[in-house]
Chain A
Amino acid sequence: MSKTKKNLIKTLTSLAFFTVVLICKILIQSADKYVWAVAFCAVYLLAGHDVLYKAGRNIIRGKVFDENFLMTIASLGAFMLGEYLEACAVMIFYQIGEVFQGYAVGKSRKSISALMDIRPDIARVIRNGKEEEVDPEEVSVGEVITVRAGDRIPLDGVVTEGTCSLNTSALTGESKPQSVSVGEQVISGCLCIDGKLTVEVQKEFYDSTVSKILDMVENASSKKARVESFISVFAKYYTPIVVFSALILAIVPSLITWQWQVWAVRALTFLVVSCPCALVISVPLGFFGGIGGAGGKGILIKGASYVEQISKANVFVFDKTGTLTKGEFSVVDVYPKENREDILRCAYICEKNSNHPIARSIVKECDFTDVGAYSIEEIAGKGIVARANGKVILCGNITLLKDFGIESSVELQTQENWQTRVYTAINGKYLGYIALADTVREEAEEVVLELKKQGCKIYMLTGDGISSAKRVARELHVDEYSYGLLPQDKMTKLESILKAKGKKDVVCFVGDGINDAPVLTRADVGISMGGIGSDSAIEASDAVLMHDSLKGILSAKKITKKTMRIVRQNIFFALAVKFSALALSALGISGMWYAVFADVGVSVLAILNSMRTLKKDNKKGARAF
């Protein structure tokens, strides 16, 4: 930072001297011409000695289209033509622009690293019964670490002791604290708000979530966005073309009009605007800001090209289970209603200690405390029988009831395929059933409708049967769906969607990243969600929604669109200003003063505009951090 400060002081001093000399010149008009030449020369050297030095060094190396060189030629030329004032102004404003640019870039760099400030500094590892503070990189798998209030969890692991509230906002954008206790997994990067944990390390630092995320953001894919490539090519040819035009402008009209001085000044003005800096800086700055801003909301985007792609994405292909739906069973119905309490109690008695996902969902639905002691017998593939004091409770599928001879009393309702039913009976009497299904995420409908409003087409792919696919598709207003797909079929289906798409369409696949990695990679943009802790998801996808909610897609669209808008504004604006400056100076309407103002001004404005991408929305839905 000291370098920036030194530059700032130097620039301000030269600006002050410049003003003094300028005022003196206006007040004392009588003095000799050479006095002013010397005075301006001093100011000039003060402001631009480093530029002159660098230019000289570059000439020796044979590099002529460097900005230092161009500025030197422009200002020295002005000096020789007796335009002392212009020469100094060019150098000083060029330096002001440089200082500002350095400041702005440094600032946005910092604010992004603050947004992504998840890197843990230390790990408190227990070695030989003593707690030691070490670099997280030095801790190996299987060692035990302690995490105190205020610490960032340094490594992924499992809690062996203690409880604590975790702030996961830096990773997921979720501001609500999450509480963890013994046996639960914790991921690195989360902040421990209160309590104390003892954690057994399961992954080394380089494999831990925090490293993966930092790596992904900082070393984002080398793929460039199309606008970036455009700027690279433009920058490559712009300077030489302008410099040669300047040469022509200096010679050709002068040969006709014989006004060498006039045209030489105009040509030098060309050199002042010949650096493509504003363009070159504002585009990556805009993208960087956009990626950083998205990161702050729990959306990781792997590079500028994906910012561009997501903003354009108009065909969304969703995986069903785990993406549009929660991917876990929940109770959707208990029939008959009047027996609800008894049915649930019987089911609870049987299932309360089971680890089967269906059992867990039923238990979650109940809040019974004391149900008495039963001996539990599990009949594989059928269900559970619970016995106590002559009471026999059955809980399972229809075959279980058949085995106990109570089939005849079960109403033969038309069973809908998307439901899974658990039947209950007590002492030989049928009670009723609990229907379970994979439920749709609360936010799914809103997200799908909003995407459709934006003109996107929505596909749904699922490995499930027709009835459950149909139900979800109808509920969410999905445009088209395919069912009964094996993982490889999903790929074939995606291929056909990709083939059918128009030239400008961008296909985005959204999945949970667990078994659809190839599809995520194949799509134009692959977005995985809730992928924290899943390496394959982070690797295979182009963007990751760290917070387990589909709404991240809408935020991602919004942020990327805003970023692209800003980047385009910058390009358009910078080009417009540059070309009008060229035109005006060729015609002699604007002088060197205006040109340097235009050049520095447009850089500054482009930088300021780019920094808007970093700004968080303060409207509804903004996350608190």
Chain B
Amino acid sequence: MKKVIKLENLDCANCGMLLERTVAKIDGVSSATVNFMAQKLIIEYDEASETVFENIKKSAKRILPDVKLLGI
């Protein structure tokens, strides 16, 4: 499954890269791309994993506390 998550307050491109690397490592996420210009995180994930969104949220909050993830 592909999902597009809108990001708010992502104001440095390097942070976007960091987020991308972190999310890609989460179990159940097969690929993650941050489109810094469009302020979006695009993920491919395994539907079977129920905790995937929770984990994404948690890791995002840990590394980028100011960034909000919308739509999950």
Interface residues of A (CB under 8 A from B): 57, 61, 63, 67, 101-102, 105, 108-109, 112, 218-220, 222, 224, 232, 235-236, 275-277, 280-281, 284-285, 288
Query: Min CB distance, A513 to chain B, in Å?
Result: 22
Interface size on B, as a range, is: 20 to 34
Q: Quick check: B62 and A288 within 8 Å, CB to CB?
A: no
- Knowing A61-B62, A288-B37, the reply to whether A219 touches B4 (Cβ < 8 A) is yes
A115 to B59, CA, bound (A): 35
Decide if the interface of chain B is mainly helix, strand, loop or mixed.
Answer: mixed
The CA-CA distance from A109 to B39 in the complex, in Å, is 10
Known: A219-B4, A222-B31. A67 touches B12 (CB 8 A): yes
| Known contacts A61-B62, A105-B37, A288-B37; A222 and B17 CB within 8 A of each other | no
A163 to chain B, nearest CB (A): 38
Please report which residues of chain B, range 22-72, place their CB below 8 angstroms from some CB of chain A when the two chains form the complex: 31, 33, 35-40, 42, 44, 62-63, 65
Q: Which chain B residues border A57 with CB–CB below 8 Å?
A: 65
- Bound-state CA distance A280–B63 (Å) is 18
Q: Is the CB–CB distance between A284 and B36 below 8 Å?
A: yes
Q: Give me 13 A-to-B residue pairs in the complex whose CB atoms sit less than 8 angstroms apart, sorted by A's number.
A: A101-B12, A109-B37, A109-B38, A219-B35, A219-B42, A222-B33, A232-B17, A235-B17, A277-B14, A280-B13, A280-B17, A281-B36, A284-B13
6 smallest CB-CB distances across A and B, nearest first, come from A288-B37, A222-B33, A281-B13, A280-B13, A280-B14, A284-B36
CA of A63 to CA of B64, assembled, Å: 10
| Contact A108:B14 (CB < 8 A) given known A61-B62, A222-B31 | no
In the complex, which residues of chain B have a beta carbon less than 8 angstroms from the beta carbon of A232?
17, 20
Docked Cα-Cα span, A285 to B40, in Å, equals 14
Shortest CB–CB separation between residue B17 and chain A, in angstroms?
6
Nearest-neighbour CB distance to chain B for A574, whole angstroms, equals 12
Q: Is the CB of B38 within 8 A of A218?
A: yes
In the complex, how many angstroms separate the beta carbon of B18 from the nearest chain A beta carbon? 8
By a CB distance below 8 angstroms, the chain B residues around A218 are 4, 35, 38, 40
Q: Cβ of B4: which chain A residues have Cβ within 8 Å of it? A: 218-219
Question: Known pairs A61-B63, A219-B38, A281-B13. 14 more at Cβ < 8 A?
Answer: A57-B65, A101-B12, A105-B37, A109-B39, A222-B31, A222-B33, A236-B21, A277-B12, A277-B13, A280-B16, A280-B17, A284-B37, A285-B13, A288-B38
B46 CB to closest chain A CB, in angstroms?
A: 16
Residue of A at shortest CB range from B65?
A: A57
Asked if A112 contacts B37 (CB within 8 A), the reply is yes
Chain B residues with CB below 8 A from A288, complex form: 37-38
Return the chain A residue nearest B34 by Cβ.
A284
**Residue from the list B13, B35, B36, B39 in contact with A220, Cβ < 8 A:** B35
Contacts of A219 in B (CB 8 A): 4, 35, 38, 40, 42
